[in-house]
């Protein structure tokens, strides 16, 4: 387990509308693995919480002229008028040593509700911009993040010579353009391929693999930012 002054905190942001889905079971397995590794685990279930994903001008003070979302985020931070729901989520994000994004891969990307969480909570003027730069100079440098997801296709389909191409190609915009951009050290993703096509026995085995993969990630020592 990493060396922290106090018990580390993991924030899991989960985005699946079905509580009985394999994706939700996978999230619960990962959460328990992190607890067993000594983490305090905070879970945000976006569907259960009815998270509003749209970054809209209505959550900001009135604007004269064109609405520029990131500029208004920064102004809200400076004026102390950040939306209460966003502020709560942002505080929980900042408190976490490890961020886990849990989701099914839809259209080779994040579900809209999870992308909207990033749009609203990765606030300019707090995580980047203002007193912070980008990547290694961003606010979350020294913290870690990982993706925990399921796919509809098989692992063979997500190889470089497979029907869809390498899964890494689909993850680049998340790893580099979202997580590394705000400073995170990105860990290897934990993926279950095509759980809908697995038998009950295979799903049970897959959850054991998820647990071991998450425990391995939890035990890794963070690299210098």
| Neighbouring residues of 89: CB distance < 8 A, sequence distance ≥ 6 | 44, 117, 120, 121
Is the Cβ–Cβ distance between 2 and 216 less than 8 Å? no
Q: Can you tell me the distance from the alpha carbon of 123 to that of 131, in angstroms, rounded to the nearest whole number?
A: 13
Q: Can you tell me the distance from the alpha carbon of 1 to that of 39, in angstroms, rounded to the nearest whole number?
A: 9
Handedness of CA 146, 225, 88, 118 (dihedral sign): negative
pLDDT of residue 4: 52
pLDDT level of residue 5 (50, 70, 90 thresholds): low
109 phi/psi in degrees, rounded to 5: -155, -165
| Per-residue pLDDT reduced to its tens digit, 60-112 | 999 888 999 999 999 999 999 999 999 999 999 999 999 999 999 999 999 99
pLDDT at 159 over 80: yes
Instruction: Please tell me the pTM assigned to this model.
Output: 0.94
* Mean pLDDT, the chain, integer: 93
The pair of structure tokens assigned to 13 is 């942001």
Instruction: For residue 178, give the 3-state DSSP assignment.
Output: helix
Strand ranges (E), the chain: 9-14, 40-45, 98-104, 144-150, 185-186, 190-192
pLDDT level of residue 177 (50, 70, 90 thresholds): very high
- Orientation angle between helical segments 112-121 and 84-95, nearest 10 degrees: 90
pLDDT at 224 over 60: no
pLDDT at 1 over 50: no
pLDDT of residue 3: 46
pLDDT of residue 130: 81
pLDDT of residue 113: 98
Percent of the chain with pLDDT over 70: 96
pLDDT level of residue 155 (50, 70, 90 thresholds): very high
Q: Is 162 exposed, middle or buried (0-12, 13-18, 19+ CB in 10 A)?
A: middle
pLDDT at 150 over 90: yes
pLDDT level of residue 2 (50, 70, 90 thresholds): very low
Work out the average pLDDT over 12-36.
98
């Amino acid at each position: 387990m990493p060396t922290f002054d106090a018990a580390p905190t993991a924030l899991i942001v989960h985005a699946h509308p079905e509580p009985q889905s394999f994706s939700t079971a996978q999230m619960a397995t990962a959460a328990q693995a992190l607890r067993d590794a000594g983490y305090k685990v905070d879970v945000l279930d976006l569907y259960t919480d009815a998270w509003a994903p749209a970054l809209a001008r209505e959550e900001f003070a009135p604007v004269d002229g064109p609405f520029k979302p990131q500029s208004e985020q920064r102004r809200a931070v400076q004026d102390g008028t950040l939306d209460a729901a966003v502020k709560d989520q942002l505080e929980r994000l900042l408190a976490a040593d490890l961020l886990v994004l849990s989701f099914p891969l839809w259209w080779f990307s994040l579900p809209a509700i999870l992308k909207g969480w990033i749009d609203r909570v990765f606030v300019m003027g707090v995580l980047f911009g203002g007193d912070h730069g980008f990547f290694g100079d961003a606010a979350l440098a020294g913290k870690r993040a990982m993706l925990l997801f399921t796919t509809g296709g098989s692992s063979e389909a997500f190889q470089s010579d497979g029907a869809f191409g390498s899964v890494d190609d689909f993850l680049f915009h998340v790893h580099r353009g979202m997580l590394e951009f705000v400073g995170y050290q990105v860990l290897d993703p934990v993926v279950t391929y095509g759980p809908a096509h697995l038998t009950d026995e295979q799903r049970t085995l897959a959850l054991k693999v998820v647990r071991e993969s998450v425990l391995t990630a939890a035990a890794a020592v963070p690299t210098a930012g």
